[in-house]
Structure 1
Amino acid sequence: MDKQIIECFSEGCRRLVVRLQTNVAPEILWNVLTDYDNLSRFIPNLALSKLLWRRNNIVEVKQIGSQKLLGLKFSAQVSLEIVEYPQDGRLDFSMLQGDFRRFEGFWQVGQVDEFTSLTYHLIVRGAIGMPISLIEQRLRKDICSNLNAINEEAQKRSTH
């Protein structure tokens, strides 16, 4: 990871920004990010990702994340409204419903010199009784592996 920032806000909100540079073409990264029905095939701890509907550049996607935490199985689900801006390489997402009080942000794909940059920006606030420090700890670890998995999938697709 080239860059990872976590900021604490009031009321248990966290802002997470992670950036990765890769040699994969931006359009291939875009195709991986918008392959909603197959994201759970290659992103660790994502048990389900399903496109529910599409209206022009707006989609609704249901996702369920699942992992073991302190020996217990923990899962969280969200239904996200995603607005696609392909000309800008940007996907804005916000939670319509789910297991968080707040879950919103964006993905940004862009060209930086000879590299492609992939940025993930998230603002999250856990549900009542969900310790934000635990969420922050998992996010810090998981987002790096998620971005690496997206990059690996894009690398595979670029060789075909």
Structure 2
Amino acid sequence: MRAIPVSSESHSAFLFPQPPPSFSSNSVPITHSSLFFFHPFHFKPHHSLSTPKPFSFKCTPFLCTAASEPDHVGVEESEDSLVEDGVCIEVTKLDKNSRRIESRISIEASLSSIWNILTDYERLADFIPGLAVSQLLQKGDNYARLLQIGQQNIAFGIKFNAKGIVDCYEKELETLPTGIKREIEFKMIEGDFQLFEGKWSILQHFNSENCEPSQVRQGSTTLSYVVDVKPKLWLPIRLIEGRLCNEIKTNLVSVRNEAQKE
């Protein structure tokens, strides 16, 4: 799997990245210059999904596109790992028009601190760039339905919005041999994707193997994010995968900065 650097400029970022906006007749479409780069790391596939074949990418100055697919699917690409701003991202091809995006970042904060930030849904727009609205539509036991609206500036003061509705499922705390973990699974139920679902994982590490939960290592926590995405038929995935990766990178950095304020 080949790694591709992430652009340092992000014009839109959502905690749960949103589908591309639908434009009215007087709106401005996204140009290639508003799409971004990405770069990967190795991550175990989601347990409920089949393991995909490795895939390579080619990066141009304004757009990440799929490289020519090899005739022999058994040929594996080498796996690289690149990091920018402490974020690692890996993109894997699931089929012709779908991708799995996996990412992680280290944060000097406790699991509970990061969890409280991620689940304070209506405050997300306060620190996530480009997230104009994060509204809690419904809340139950370990469940939340969100409306999120992202806003981008194009040029000459012109703006456009992208929105989506996301269901979130908050999992219980798990104790593992190496630390404690908690996850939020999410699925977009309304938007311009046939498939958009994944999870956030927070893993706080023990000081050593076989420690008690009370002996977790303070300030040694990994925040991971994985999403499977497939646009509707009219939208090729290659046109948005770079943008999605850059939004994910920005989201992770924003959560880290918020968690490390104190």
Scaled by the length of structure 1, what TM-score is found? 0.88
Checking the alignment, whether the CA contact within 8 Å between 1:126 and 1:135 is kept in structure 2 is no
| Structure 1 portions without partners, runs of 5+ | none
Cα offset, 1:142, TM superposition: 1.6
Cα offset, 1:8, TM superposition: 1.4
- CA pair 128-73 structure 1, distance change in 2 beyond 3 A: farther
Which stretch shows the higher mean deviation, 64-73 or 120-129? 64-73
Give the whole-Å Cα distance in 1 for the aligned partners of 2:234 and 2:159.
17
Bigger share in strand:
1
How many positions carry a matched residue from both structures? 157
Deviations 1:25-49 (A, max 9, x none): 1100001100100111111122211
Give the whole-Å Cα distance in 2 for the aligned partners of 1:103 and 1:65.
16
Aligned to 1:139: 244
SS of residue paired to 1:9: strand
Q: Tell which structure's C-alpha radius of gyration is larger.
A: 2
Aligned to 2:185: 92
Cα offset, 1:73, TM superposition: 4.8
Cα offset, 1:11, TM superposition: 4.2
Specify which of 114, 124, 145 is matched with residue 60 of structure 1: 145
Cα offset, 1:131, TM superposition: 3.0
Give the whole-Å Cα distance in 1 for the aligned partners of 2:222 and 2:94.
26
Q: Residues 60-79 of structure 1 correspond to what in structure 2 (within 5 A)?
A: 60-68=145-153, 73=159, 75-79=161-165
Q: Which amino acid aligns with 1:80?
A: V
Specify which of 193, 199, 204 is matched with residue 111 of structure 1: 204
Give the whole-Å Cα distance in 2 for the aligned partners of 1:100 and 1:76.
13
Scaled by the length of structure 2, what TM-score is found? 0.55
Aligned to 2:60: none
Cα offset, 1:75, TM superposition: 3.6
Which stretch shows the higher mean deviation, 7-16 or 103-112? 7-16
Checking the alignment, whether the CA contact within 8 Å between 1:76 and 1:99 is kept in structure 2 is no
Checking the alignment, whether the CA contact within 8 Å between 2:128 and 2:254 is kept in structure 1 is yes
Which stretch shows the higher mean deviation, 120-129 or 145-154? 120-129
Give the whole-Å Cα distance in 1 for the aligned partners of 2:150 and 2:93.
23
SS of residue paired to 2:233: coil
Give the whole-Å Cα distance in 2 for the aligned partners of 1:70 and 1:122.
30
| Structure 2 portions without partners, runs of 5+ | 1-85, 175-181, 207-216
SS of residue paired to 2:235: coil
**Percent identical:** 35
Give the whole-Å Cα distance in 2 for the aligned partners of 1:139 and 1:4.
11
- CA pair 99-77 structure 1, distance change in 2 beyond 3 A: farther
Indicate yes or no: 2:167 matched with 1:81: yes
Task: Give the aligned CA root-mean-square deviation in angstroms.
Answer: 2.1
Q: Which amino acid aligns with 1:147?
A: L
Cα offset, 1:67, TM superposition: 2.6
- CA pair 67-8 structure 1, distance change in 2 beyond 3 A: farther
Deviations 1:49-88 (A, max 9, x none): 1111111111111112233579985543221111101414
- CA pair 75-4 structure 1, distance change in 2 beyond 3 A: same
- CA pair 128-77 structure 1, distance change in 2 beyond 3 A: farther
- CA pair 4-90 structure 1, distance change in 2 beyond 3 A: same
Checking the alignment, whether the CA contact within 8 Å between 2:107 and 2:221 is kept in structure 1 is yes
- CA pair 74-129 structure 1, distance change in 2 beyond 3 A: farther
